[in-house]
Chain A
Amino acid sequence: MGEVKLFRTWSSPFALRVVWALKLKGVEYETIYEDLANKSSSLLEYNPVHKKVPVLLHNGIPICESLVILEYIDETWNEGVRFLPKDPLARATARFWAKFNDEQVFPSFFRYFMRQGEDQEKAKEKVLENLKFVEEHLKGKKFFDGEVFGFLDLVFGWLVCYPGVINKAINLKLLDEQMFPNLCTWMEQFGDVPVIKETWPDEEALIHKFHKMREGLGIYIYTKLRYEAS
């Protein structure tokens, strides 16, 4: 079905959903890791508008924006497992929740992670409010799309890994089993899917990265130098 390349970073949850989609469809592809501080000329050529990853290159033609890429993969490799449901109403509902994740849930979680003190408390209220909607939406379902996992599970999949790792890194717990029983059950079940389990970024590397992001590069370098000197 042609040559497939994926431009990504090793830690981006948006790139990870594309990796899952390609692996679940059994598509062979080449990975090109990008350093966002030093973007390749290829990335700038293939995504001149946003200059971001992930970018999928199929037969030399780029597709940008992870949700657009997911739908493209679903339609192009359309034999076997399908991510989006067939019914137009079910598709519209899935797209609504995907947009809710990308524009509300994830950004609110990121803000919560990056803030301190009172600001962090306010940010926590917002992310909990968003997660409660998601919890409600999962009620009575094994996966977001029903008995079988699909598009929305790929979209929300970052929840299985990143909050847990952040908790290990900076002791910031969010997903309480009592408050979010449906989400926690879903996290276990989706997290058990082999393709998902096998593709998480290295936990130690993620913890290291989250420390860097939170504490600022200056403090990190000072700590590292002190450690190396002793």
Chain B
Amino acid sequence: CVCVCYILDSNIYIKLFTFLSILLTFKYIIKMKDEIILLDCWASSYGMSVKIALAEKGVEYECREENFQDKSPLLLQSNHIHKTIPVLVHNGKPICESLIIVRYIDEVWHDKSPLLPSDPHQKSQALFWADYIDKKVAKKELIEVLRNLERELGDKPYFGGENVGFVDVALVPFTSWFYTYETRGHFSIEAECPKLMSWAKRCISERKSIAKTLPHPHKIYEYALDLLRK
């Protein structure tokens, strides 16, 4: 490149070459600056919410699988209070708690695929429902909770309206556990909450970020059986 510019012997080409080199170096430095590590466990619904958010924003990151019997020093240092996953480590700074991480991602990479609405009232509604999911979905009153969520979804394609939003990101990971809950609990979520099941299928078929993050329900079922045996 330098030789070609030299042969052409014109200032403007050297200037252009120098300018392009500086631009590429800058881009490389900026890209190098952002180190993003996700400490996770593949079956965790809470981890999946974070992965979906990162995928929606097109953010590259390194995913490190944690073993609960042998937690990494980085996990113990980053989340010394709870010692749980997921933890996002962004340029050495840890952020803990699944939905808090999703909000952080939404605020830092705010120029793409917003997950929370900007209108304060609509935002408060989304935060309310995500908090509800966080507190209630992992518990025994699952069907009652799902019925409430079915009502909230209504005829919208997503909880966020026309596009995937904060509540969708909070809830969709739990759908990979539905098969496990149904099989162990002997009930059909499809029969009780048909709109919710359509929504779950729509999320997987229409959103790459979700399709590539959610493990197959049967894999989760085997994992759950494994946990019960231990």
Question: Interface of A with B (CB < 8 Å)?
Answer: 49, 58, 61, 63-65, 67-69, 71-72, 75-76, 88-89, 91-93, 95-96, 99-100, 133
* Given A89-B95, A100-B81, residue A68 in contact with residue B104 (CB < 8 A): no
Cβ–Cβ < 8 Å partners of B123 in chain A: 71-72, 75
Q: In the complex, A100→B79 CA distance in Å?
A: 12
Q: In the complex, A63→B120 CA distance in Å?
A: 10
Contact check, A76 vs B120: say whether CB atoms are below 8 A apart: yes
Cβ–Cβ < 8 Å partners of A95 in chain B: 97, 100, 103
The answer to whether B96 has its CB under 8 Å from any CB of chain A is: yes
Contact check, A65 vs B128: say whether CB atoms are below 8 A apart: yes
* Given A88-B104, A91-B104, A92-B104, residue A68 in contact with residue B127 (CB < 8 A): yes
Contact check, B101 vs A92: say whether CB atoms are below 8 A apart: yes
- Sample of 6 A–B contacts (CB below 8 Å): A68-B128, A71-B123, A72-B124, A75-B123, A88-B107, A93-B95
Cβ–Cβ < 8 Å partners of A61 in chain B: 121
Q: How far is the CB of B92 from chain A (nearest CB, A)?
A: 11
The answer to whether B131 has its CB under 8 Å from any CB of chain A is: yes
Interface of A is mostly: helix
Contact check, B97 vs A99: say whether CB atoms are below 8 A apart: yes
* Given A72-B120, A72-B121, residue A92 in contact with residue B100 (CB < 8 A): yes
In addition to A63-B121, A68-B128, A96-B100, 5 A-B residue pairs with Cβ atoms within 8 Å of each other are: A61-B121, A72-B121, A89-B104, A96-B97, A133-B81
Cβ–Cβ < 8 Å partners of B100 in chain A: 92, 95-96, 99
Cβ–Cβ < 8 Å partners of B96 in chain A: 96
Q: In the complex, A47→B128 CA distance in Å?
A: 11
Cβ–Cβ < 8 Å partners of B124 in chain A: 63, 68-69, 71-72
Cβ–Cβ < 8 Å partners of A93 in chain B: 95
* Given A92-B95, A100-B81, residue A64 in contact with residue B103 (CB < 8 A): no
* Given A92-B101, A95-B103, A96-B96, residue A75 in contact with residue B81 (CB < 8 A): no
Q: In the complex, A152→B168 CA distance in Å?
A: 28
Q: In the complex, A133→B120 CA distance in Å?
A: 32
Contact check, B93 vs A89: say whether CB atoms are below 8 A apart: yes
The answer to whether B132 has its CB under 8 Å from any CB of chain A is: yes
Q: How far is the CB of A107 from chain B (nearest CB, A)?
A: 12
The answer to whether B148 has its CB under 8 Å from any CB of chain A is: yes
Most chain A CB within 10 A, of B96, B124, B148, is at: B124
Contact check, A65 vs B108: say whether CB atoms are below 8 A apart: no
Q: How far is the CB of A3 from chain B (nearest CB, A)?
A: 14
Find the B residue at minimum CB distance from A75.
B120
* Given A64-B128, A133-B81, residue A88 in contact with residue B121 (CB < 8 A): no
Cβ–Cβ < 8 Å partners of B127 in chain A: 65, 68, 71
The 8 closest A-B pairs by CB, nearest first: A88-B107, A92-B104, A75-B120, A72-B124, A63-B124, A92-B95, A68-B127, A95-B100
Find the B residue at minimum CB distance from A69.
B124
Cβ–Cβ < 8 Å partners of A49 in chain B: 132, 148
Find the B residue at minimum CB distance from A95.
B100
Q: In the complex, A67→B90 CA distance in Å?
A: 25
Q: In the complex, A96→B101 CA distance in Å?
A: 9
Find the A residue at minimum CB distance from B91.
A89
Of residues 118 through 175 on chain B, the ones whose CB sits less than 8 Å from some CB of chain A are: 120-121, 123-124, 127-128, 131-132, 148
Q: In the complex, A61→B131 CA distance in Å?
A: 19
Cβ–Cβ < 8 Å partners of A65 in chain B: 127-128, 131
* Given A49-B148, A133-B81, residue A91 in contact with residue B107 (CB < 8 A): yes
Cβ contacts B80-106/A at 8 Å (1 or 0 each):
010000000010010111001101100
Q: How far is the CB of B85 from chain A (nearest CB, A)?
A: 14
Most chain B CB within 10 A, of A75, A88, A91, is at: A88
